[in-house]
Amino acid sequence: MDEFFIDSAQHSFGERKILNNVYLKCCVGEVVGVLGRNGCGKSTLLKIIFGTIKPYYKHLRIDDKIVQKGFLSGKIAYLSQSFFIPHYLKLATVIKLYTNKYQHLLLELPIFNAHLNERIGNLSGGNRRLAEALLIIYSDAKYVLLDEPFSQLSPLLIEEIKTNINAMLSYKGFVITDHYYQHVLNYASRTILLHNGCNYNINNLEDLQLHGYLPAMLH
């Protein structure tokens, strides 16, 4: 089956329980949005799926196979909130390091074909974030976890990321966290909210108000 899911994810930091039996599923061809306040466990959940955090408990299944760490399967890629590519590497080098199957598509994108001999650290902050996001989007991974990919980007760059996700939707599934809840609600195929350690399905703004993510509207 072309899907992954994590079930019964539980994790604590000291005495503070962050996740309590959280469930998330993502299929090829969909964008799953994950919303929640700071500290609710959004990044923690993605890192558990990817395999860089070992939780108290989880059940992770990728394409119908039980997996302990997502990155070991070769089917999960993860974009962290911070820059992850060494600043001194040229774009021509990072394309070869991070992409294979879809490398030819990346080379057609303006940010890469116009700056191949440029060090990634010399790009503006927004363009560097865009470049790293695109490298993950066009990686060989079947499922892509994007942790706040729109944060501090201009509307033009946000649309650029969405356009490229759309271009790969036939081949991949995407999970996106972000504080820009309107972007997520309007764009994602499905959205969940992490709140008090649990997950809730979100269909509209009223659901976010119901669970206390947004203040109730005054009438």
Q: What is the pLDDT of residues 69-94, one digit of tens each?
A: 999 999 999 999 999 999 999 999 99
Alpha-carbon distances of 99 from 71, 95, 135, 140, 190, rounded to whole Å: 15, 6, 7, 6, 28
219 falls within a domain: no
Q: Which domain holds residue 198?
A: 3-210
Q: How many domains does the chain divide into?
A: 1
Q: Model confidence over 162-178: pLDDT tens digits?
A: 999 999 999 999 999 98
Helix H or strand E encompassing 207: helix 205-210
pLDDT above 90 coverage of the chain, percent: 85
Please indicate, yes or no, if residue 163 is contained in any of the structural domains: yes
The answer to the question of residue 68 being in a domain is: yes
Helix then strand then coil, % of the chain, to nearest 5 = 35, 30, 40
> Beta strand pairing status for 173-177 and 143-147?
parallel
Judge whether 73 lies within some domain: yes
Mean pLDDT of 18-33: 96
- Is the Cα dihedral 199, 200, 204, 205 positive or negative? negative
Average pLDDT, the chain: 93
With bands split at pLDDT 50, 70 and 90, how would you rate the model's confidence at 179? confident
Here the tokens at position 20 are 């309590």
Strand order in the sheet with 57-62: 16-27, 3-13, 57-62, 65-66
For residue 149, pLDDT beyond 60: yes
- Tell me, yes or no, whether 49 lies in a domain: yes
CATH number at residue 194: 3.40.50.300
Classify residue 215: in a domain, yes or no.
no
211 vs 22, 181, 196, CA distance in Å?
16, 14, 10
Residue type, 66: I
- The arithmetic mean of pLDDT across residues 181-201, rounded, is 93
* Tens digits of residue pLDDT in 35-73: 999 889 999 999 999 999 999 999 999 999 999 999 999
- Whether 178 is covered by a domain: the verdict is yes
pTM listed for this prediction: 0.94
**pLDDT of 105 strictly over 70:** yes
Query: To 10 degrees, the CA torsion angle through 108, 110, 112, 114?
Result: 110
pLDDT tier, 219 (very low <50, low <70, confident <90, very high otherwise): very low
**Is the residue at 140 inside a domain?**
yes
Is pLDDT at 129 greater than 60 in this prediction? yes
For tokens 């799953």, the residue is: 32
